[in-house]
Amino acid sequence: MFAKKLTTARHSRFWAEKRIIAISFFITLSYFQYGYDSAAIAGFQSMRGFLKIYGHVDPHTPIGYNISTNVQRLIQSLINIGSFMSAFAIYFLGSKISRRLGLWIGCALAFLSVSIMIGVENLGGLYAGRLLLGMSNGFLVPYNVMFVSESAPSLLRGPILGMTVLQTSLGALFGILVDNYTNGRESEDENAINAIRRLRGIKDETLLRAEVEDIRSAYEMEQELHAGIHLKGMFRGTDLRRTLLSYGCIIGGTCTGITFMAGFSVYLFMMAKVGKPFYWVMISLVIALTGNMLSFSAMRIWGRRQLIIYCSIGSAAMWLGMAIIYTVSGSHTATDNGAGAAKGLVALSIVYGWVAGFGQAGVLIALAAEIPSQRLRSQTVGTGAGINAFFGWMVSFFSPYFINSDKLNWTPKYGYIWGGSNLILAVWTWVFVPETKGRSLEQLDELFEKRVGARQFSSYVVERPLVDDVVASRAEGTNGKHREKEAPALTERTV
C-alpha cells in the first residue's frame, strides 16, 4: 500500500514538473547535435559524394575514392581542438557568462559552422567549419549540463540529466540514417529539379533539366568572372564610374532623411510640441508602408531615374515646408494659435514618409545593386554597406546636436538641411544616374563599356537584345504547351 502511494506521488510530481522536463528536453538537443555529427562525419568518409569534393580517386577501394590521412585526422581532431579552446574561454570568462548566454553562443557558433560547411566546397572551409563546431560543442555541453542540473528539482535531476545520453544516441541514429539514405546521391541536380518544380509548377522533365543547366551555366560564368578579383579593380576603367554611382545611391538613401526620421521622429514631434507624437508617427509608418508596396510597380512603369528625381524634389518640398512652418510659428505649435502649424508639421511628415518610400528608398537600393559590374557586384555592394553604416552613424551621432534643446534647438528647422540634401540628390541623379529599367545585366555591361551618357541610357540601342520574348516562348507554346526542344539556352537576366 505504501509503495503504491509512493508511486502515485512520484507520478503526480512528474506531471507537476512537466514544464522543466520539456525545457530540459529541448536544451539537451545540443547532445543530439553532438551525436548526429559524430555519426554523420563517420559516414561521410565512405560516401562518394563527399569524397568527390574532399577526397581523391583511388581505384583500389571498393567505392573508387579515398580520403587522405591528413584530411581524415584534421576533420576529426579539429572538433576536439575547438572544444579545448572553448574550455579555456569559459575558464577565463567564468561568471561573466550566464548559462543562457553560454547556450546562445554555442548555438551561434553551430549555425556559423554549418553554414560554412554547406556553403564552401574546399578543405579550408571544411576545416574552419569543424573547428567552429568543436567550439560550439565546447559551449553547449558544459552550459547544457549546468543549466539542466541547476534547474531540475532533486527528485528528477538524475532522469533529466540522463536525457543527455538519450539525445546523443538519438542523434547518432539519425546521423547514420541520413547517411544511409543519401549515400547514393552524388550531385545536387535532383534537389535543384525538385525545387524548380515546386517553385515554378513546371511538370515537363525536359524543361526542368534545361532550367537546371541554365542555372549551372550562369553559376559557372559567375565563378569565372570573380576569379582573380581584387579590391582595386573597383576603381579602374569603366568600373570606377559604376562603383562611384553605386556608392552615391547608397549615400543618397541617407541624404533623403529617412535615417534621421526613423531614429528621431518621435523626439522631433515632442520638441515641436505636437500632441500625441507616438500616435502620429505610428500613422506615418503605416501610410509609408503603402508607398513601399507601390514602389515595386512604380519602378517597372516609370523607371528608377525619374522616380528619384521627382520624389527627391517632393521630399525636399516636405522638409522645407516643415522647417518654414516651424520657423514662422516659432514654439507655439501646441497653442491654439499654433494648432494649424502642428497639423501642418504632421501632414507634411506623413506625406514625406510616403514619397520617400514610394520613389526613393527602394529605388536607390535597386540602383546600387544593379549598376556595379557582374564580376564586382558583391565587392561593391559589400563595401557600400560599410559606407552606409558610416553615414548612418554620422546622422545618429550629430543630429542630436541640432535638434536637442541643450544645443542648437533647431527641432523641425533641421528640415532645411534635409531639404537641401534632397535637392542635391535630385540634381545629382539628373546629371549622373542612368536609367536601368528594362535592361539586362549584360546590356548594362555593354552600355557602361561604351561609356554611354546617363541621359542617353534609355534610348541607346544595344547590340544584345532583351530576352523577354525568348523566355516567354521557352515556357509557353502557341497552344499554352511547353516547347522545351525549341528553347535556346539563356544566361541573360533582366532588371
> Worst-scoring range by mean pLDDT, 78-82, 336-340, 438-442?
336-340
Question: Has residue 35 got a pLDDT over 50?
Answer: yes
What kind and span of H or E run contains 65? strand 65-66
pLDDT 10s digits, 469-478: 444 444 444 3
> Which CATH code for domain 231-456?
1.20.1250.20
The model's pLDDT over 44-102, given as tens digits with 9 standing for 90+, comes to 777 777 888 888 888 887 778 888 878 877 887 788 888 888 877 877 776 677 878 88
Residues 6 or more apart whose Cβ sits within 8 Å of residue 217: 489, 491
Residue 54 has a pLDDT of: 84
17-182 and 231-456, same CATH topology: yes
Dihedral sign, CA of 141, 142, 148, 149?
positive
Amino acid 333: pLDDT: 55
Q: Does domain 17-182 have CATH number 1.20.1250.20?
A: yes
Q: What is the largest CA-CA distance in the chain?
A: 96
How much is the pLDDT for 374? 75
Confidence of residue 419 (pLDDT cuts 50, 70, 90): very high
Confidence (pLDDT) at 251: 93
Q: Give residue 385's pLDDT.
A: 81
d(CA 377, CA 385): 12
pLDDT beyond 90 at 388: no
Answer positive or negative: Cα dihedral of 359, 364, 369, 371.
positive
Contact between 349 and 322 under an 8 Å Cβ cutoff? The reply is yes
CA dist 465 and 454 (Å) reads: 20
The per-residue pLDDT for 469 is 44
Going by pLDDT thresholds of 50, 70 and 90, the confidence category of residue 431 is very high
* Residue 296 CA from chain centroid, whole number: 19
For the record, the C-alpha cell of 207 comes out as 524543361
202 contacts 471 by C-beta, under 8 angstroms? no
So what's the pLDDT on residue 474? 47
The model carries a pTM of: 0.58
- CB 483: neighbour CB atoms within 10 A? 15
Q: Can you give the three-state secondary structure of 169-228, one letter per residue? A: HHHHHHHHHHHHHHCCCCCCHHHHHHHHHHHHCCCCHHHHHHHHHHHHHHHHHHHHHHCC
pLDDT of residue 484: 39
Residue 256 has pLDDT above 90, yes or no: yes
CA distances from 30 to 104, 167, 461 (A): 11, 8, 59
Q: Classify strands 65-66 and 56-57 as parallel, antiparallel or unpaired.
A: antiparallel
Judged by average pLDDT, the poorest of 182-191, 257-266, 427-436 is: 182-191
Least confident of 209-213, 324-328, 333-337, 342-346: 333-337
Residue 430 has pLDDT above 90, yes or no: yes
Average pLDDT over residues 222-226: 59
How far, in Å, are 8, 231, 323, 414 from residue 420 at the CA level?
Answer: 78, 33, 11, 10
pLDDT (tens digit, 9 = 90+) per residue, 123-175? 888 888 888 988 888 888 777 777 776 676 656 666 666 666 677 777 777 77
Which pLDDT score is estimated for 221?
Answer: 65
- Residue 136 three-state SS: helix
| For residue 492, pLDDT beyond 50 | no
As beta bridge partners, residue 494 has: 440
Contact in structure between 493 and 440 (CB atoms under 8 Å): yes
Q: How far apart are CA 16 and CA 467, in angstroms?
A: 66
Domain extent listing, the chain: 17-182, 231-456
